[in-house]
Structure formats: C-alpha cells, structure tokens
Amino acid sequence: MFNYPTATVYSLKGAVAWLHTDRQIFRDEMNNAYPVKGVTAFNLMDRYAKGDDIIPFLNAYPQTNTIRVFCYTPKKDWGDYAWNTPSPNVVESFIKEMQVFGIRVKLVLLTDDDSARIQPAIELVEYLSPHKFNNLILATANEPYTHKYVNVNALEGVLKASGYLYTSGVYEDLKLFYGNCGDIHTGRDNEWPRKAKDAIECYRGGGPNFPDEPPQKVPWILGEPIKPNEANGDDNYILRDYYTYGALGKLTSGGMFFHCESAKLSNLPDDFESRCANELFTGYDMFPGDAALGDYEHLQAYEDEGTRALRVYRVGRYVVVVRPENFIPGNNWLAMDSISVCWTIL
C-alpha cells in the first residue's frame, strides 16, 4: 500500500540472546541493540499444556521475537475462557520450547488481586530462577492498579533475586513502580498513535500520569496499544497510524507488542489484523536499534495551524510526524518514506 521497506523478518529458529539494559533500550551479549518486538499470546502456554499445536500462531507473526503470556486468568472475568497456571515443570518445558524457536517469553505472573495467587507465583519464580533461561522476562502483574489493586510488593524480593529481567507491571502510578524494565499500556483514545511518546515520560519523569512521577530510568516496553477493531478511520488511515506508532515507539522505548482481539486467545489473525501488525513493525524497523538514546524534542513549531500534523517529535537526528496533512518539513530534512511520517535531519 505504502512505498517504504517491508519489515525485517525474524526467524522462528535460532539462538536467543542474553539481554542487558542500556538506558532506554536492551542490548544482547555482543552489545548490539536488541529490539523487543512482541505479540499478545495470553493463553499460549495453557494451549501448549493442553497439547494444542501452537506453531501456526507463532508462524502468523514472523516479525516478532517475543510473546506476552499470562500464567492464568480468573473465571470471574474470563468465564469459560479462563485457565489456571500449569505446573512448574510444564512452565519450564514451555519456556524451553520457545527457546528452540528463538522466542522470548514475557511471563505475567498475576492477573487479578486474589491473594491466594501470590504464594504460588512466588514459588514459581523460585522454581524458574536456577534455570537461568536467557529467553525469559518476568512481570509481576498485568495492569495491577486498573480496576483492581494487586499486591505487587509481595513479589519484589523474589523477582530481584531471580536473575531475570523483571517488572512490577505498574504503569498507572510510577511512584509505585519497581523493576529493571517497564511495561506501559498507552491510551486507546482517538489520538492513540502519539501516545507511544509516553515511554519517554516514564523514563524522564514528570508523567505520563501525574506531574510528580519520578523518572524510572529503565527500558520501557509498549505493551498493549489499541486493537485494530477499536481504531477509528478507514483502512489506510488505521494502517498509517500503526506504522506511525511503531516508528515513534522505536524512538521512545525498548520495544513493543502488537495487540489484537484474536491474539488474546492465541488464535490466528484475520487479514486486517495481519496488515496492522506488519505496518506496526515496518514502522518500528525504520530507525536504528539505538535510536531511542538520542536527545528528545517536541517540535511544536511544525504543528502550527492545526492542519500540518497532530504531533511532531524528534529524537536525535530522527523525526516522526504523527498524522501529517500537507506537512512542510524543515529545509535540512530527508524523507524516509512517501507518506511524510519518518524523517532524517541531515
């Protein structure tokens, strides 16, 4: 549809790199910038435990290198679709299986505020810690302070001692955050493509929720952007928004997850979901892996008159224009695509 490069395709087989953090980004053991490019797969471990063939789902997202999995979901919220955490040895087997396919697992331990779930989660982390899986990231909870109040502090000690990359999952109030990486779910309102910038505020402080939030200087992953069925506009408009969110996310974060209705239960995407995923990761691949380390600036002068762009953001020598309309660039700007979204400042 648009005239720009196709997304880099990640092989589903091959060695998984050990990761460490470097300010806003992740790096592998060779110190190369490593982009976390993921997809929601909430019940994939449960499907594996039940003997389902999960390979078609992984093959449906060749651009990704990470899956985001829930250990369980509560019946009161998920009804007949709810599932329970498998036994620790099954969790171990699943992580090893994903390792074979070159896939990193972001394992979310708690999905509700049932206190009875805390001790089993602690014991699971204690079981996994000695294995030192190089493809595992741990998250205490999903949206811990959204419509619930999860006791994330109960797991802080065991996660710190685990040796893994980990996050509390807290993004609703960064004064309560802990972890060596973060996970933020950005707003799904009509201006959602610009919200990828929230990862910068998480890192720098002063937002995105409250002006007194402290800086949390870890790589932030954009965890659940809008689903295609929730986005407004015609197909081309929505696809451009996904491309834009991906490109802006590369300048602001350590990675992102594609999120859609079918992926919640690890079902195959429909055609439009696949196209949206491809645009998201095509945009993400437009800039170098370490682009987020550059200096940030909101170029408000290029948003004049309310018709040229919704937002214009610069990080280092790269610029993302959100929803350009007859956009007029700077004299020393070089277009990186044909739709006026990605630019390089010469």
Looking at the DSSP bridge assignments, the partners of residue 37 are: 256
Q: Is the pLDDT of residue 32 over 70?
A: yes
- Domain boundary (293, 320, 336) is at 293
Report the distance separating Cα 32 and Cα 10, nearest Å. 16
Answer yes or no: is 14 within a domain.
no
Lowest mean pLDDT among 156-165, 200-209, 302-311, 333-342: 302-311
pLDDT value at position 305?
Answer: 67
Q: State which residues form the domain around 279.
A: 20-293
**Residue 1 pLDDT:** 41
Give mean pLDDT, residues 318-334.
Answer: 94
Picking from 293, 317, 338, the residue at the C-terminal end of a domain is 293
CA distance 127 to 148: 27
Domain identity same for 171 and 313: no
pLDDT band at 307 (very low <50, low <70, confident <90, very high): low
In this structure, the answer to whether residues 252 and 332 fall within a common structural domain is no
Higher pLDDT, 9 or 225: 225
Candidates 309, 182, 174; CA nearest to 248 is 309
* 59 & 197 share domain: yes
Residue 2 has pLDDT above 50, yes or no: no
Check whether residue 300 and residue 252 sit in a common domain.
no
Average pLDDT, the chain: 94
The pLDDT-based confidence of 245 (bands split at 50, 70, 90) is very high
- The secondary structure of 285-306, three-state, reads CCCCCCHHHCCEEECHHHHHHH
- Asked if residue 167 and residue 81 are part of one domain, the reply reads yes
Residue 3 domain flag: no
Q: Which carries the bigger pLDDT value, residue 51 or residue 17?
A: 51
Q: What are phi and psi of 141, to 5 degrees?
A: -150, 155
Percent of the chain clearing pLDDT 70 (strictly above): 95
Count other C-beta atoms under 10 Å from residue 207's C-beta: 15
77 and 218 in a single domain? The answer is yes
Based on the fold, state whether residues 175 and 299 are members of the same structural domain: no
What is the count of structural domains for the chain? Answer: 2
Domain-located, residue 80 = yes
pTM: 0.94
Instruction: Kindly tell me the number of DSSP H helices and DSSP E strands found in the chain.
Output: 9, 16
Q: Is the per-residue pLDDT at 326 higher than 70?
A: yes
Q: Is residue 6 part of a domain?
A: no
How large is the average pLDDT for residues 80-89?
97
Let me know if residue 4 belongs to a domain: no
